[in-house]
Amino acid sequence: MKKWLVALLVTVVGFTGSSAAHAELIRDENPYVLLEKLANKTIERIEQDRALIDEDINHIRVVIREEMMPYVDYVYAAKRVLGRNLTETTEEQRQEFYTVFRDYLITTYAGAFTQYDETKHTIEFGDSGRFEKGSRMVVVNTRLIENGRPPVRMDFKMRYDNNDDVWKAYDLVVEGVSLLNSKQAEISAVIRSNGIDGTIALLREKAQESVKPHDDGVGAD
């Protein structure tokens, strides 16, 4: 599976035409409907910024940071990635890890987005009627359609953030492969080799790299 497909999972997790710092969060009590609205805005934003992206590939990172991350529960995901290592860290280390993990995700997603072509790719959404009102954790089913290729199933795991009053994605399962589980295994191995401080330093280094396609993971050279 192409790595950009795994990161494309978050294509539908939130873009608007202006900075998220100044824009209203897109809200809908039905996460299926919310995700579809955000997907449409994503496509519009990519089309709108195509010239800027072609001129400077790092512009993708700006767009993701400003528009997408408000709809990604990176703190919850980071805690899941740390797993049992969470209890062996100090509060300062945890907060630092959350920050660099967010920045690492931004760079990772940006690299994946360099492979996205809005003229070739579309997303189909599951029936919004499947959502049970009152649920606080759901799996939203979607399919990525690419010209000349079989559809790719993408199941978004989402939870309702009571603090921000909005649905947020924390994991995606692409054809049965969980991004969160993959990152947990990857980062746990790095922690065993380098400790939490060494892992934070490595994530920070990776996060600061210039955007490039086909990132090979945390421990790659």
For residues 50-81, one letter each, b for 16 or more C-beta atoms within 10 angstroms of the residue's C-beta and e for the rest, the string is eeebeeebebbbbbbbbbbbbbbbbbbbbbbb
**In angstroms, how far is the first alpha carbon of the chain from the final one?**
21
Residue 5: per-residue pLDDT: 46
- CA dist list (Å): 40 to 19, 75, 136, 202: 17, 26, 24, 35
What DSSP state is assigned to residue 159?
E
* Predicted structure pTM score: 0.78
Decide: helix, strand or coil at residue 162.
Answer: coil
**Residue whose structure tokens are 């809005």:** 118
SS3 content of the chain, % helix, strand, coil (to 5): 55, 15, 30
Domains detected in the chain: 3-207 (3.10.450.710)
Decide: helix, strand or coil at residue 220.
Answer: coil
Residue 46: what residue type? Answer: I
The residues that bridge with 6 in the sheet, in sequence order, are none
Residue 118: what residue type? Answer: E
Q: Can you give the pLDDT of all 221 residues of the chain as single tens digits?
A: 444 444 454 444 333 233 334 357 778 889 999 888 877 776 777 788 989 988 998 898 887 887 778 888 999 999 999 999 999 999 999 999 999 999 998 888 777 767 767 678 888 888 888 898 889 999 999 998 888 889 989 899 999 999 888 999 999 898 999 988 998 999 999 999 999 999 999 999 999 998 876 555 566 54
State the DSSP H helix or E strand holding residue 137, giving kind and residue range, or none if neither. Answer: strand 137-146
Residue 10: per-residue pLDDT: 45
Q: Tens of pLDDT along 180-203?
A: 899 899 999 999 999 999 999 999
Residues sharing a CB contact under 8 Å with residue 103, sequence separation 6 or more, in sequence order: 203, 204, 207, 208
CA distance 56 to 152: 29
CB burial class (10 A; 0-12, 13-18, 19+) of residue 201?
middle
